[in-house]
Amino acid sequence: MSRYLKESAVDLFITYKFIRLLTTKWEDTDAFDEGVIDAKGKLLVKGKDQTSAQKKAYTVFHKLVFNIKRILERVPFGKSRIASYAAALFLLKEETGMAEEDILTVLQDLGADTSIDLSEEFKEINPGMHILSDNLFESIKGTIVNLDSVEPVGYFAGVPIYVTQENIFISANNIL
């Protein structure tokens, strides 16, 4: 494997880890399980008081992503939001220009579990107002969004991805 391909694979993996952690609910993180953060991402145990397991669950990388996540939670509807893991991977596909099979292969080769959240149920959706049921940011849970078109803007792992008037990328499972 050439140096360029190795660097690209590492970049892809880091981006994947970033998106995956950013789109994970606070309660589903190892840091929460270890008691380092609470259900809103607030730090409960400072670094000097953390056990080795807690330090592993709350690294410098986690601190960076969690700080960004907390900032984003305060911002009402930025330029775009990602409401699901499938939508996040769709944006990764769009930004890198890689085929989804290549993204999944690289991530799997690097030991990432790409099956989580990609086996969404398919349900019919209609244009109009919808309530966000499952989303990246707790602060917008229950927010009403408008879907002008039921034509997907793309797919990832067979999951249709839609964009709302508010420029939020969602899958059908993100709305009631």
How does pLDDT run across 23-61, given as a tens digit for each residue?
A: 788 899 999 999 999 988 899 999 899 999 999 999 999
Q: Is the pLDDT of residue 77 over 50?
A: no
What whole-number distance in Å separates Cα of residue 149 and Cα of residue 167? 12
* Nearest residue to 128 (alpha-carbon basis) of 157, 149, 102, 103: 149
Q: Is the pLDDT of residue 90 over 60?
A: yes
If you search the block for the tokens 């993996």, which residue do you land on? 13
| The most confident of 11-15, 55-59, 78-82, 113-117, by mean pLDDT | 55-59
Which stretch of 113-117, 138-142, 148-152, 163-167 has the lowest confidence by average pLDDT? 113-117
The pLDDT score that the predictor gives to residue 4 is 62
Mean pLDDT calculated for residue range 154-169: 83
Decide which of 98 and 62 is more confident: 62
Number of H helices, E strands in the chain: 6, 6
Mean pLDDT calculated for residue range 142-160: 84
The pLDDT score that the predictor gives to residue 13 is 82
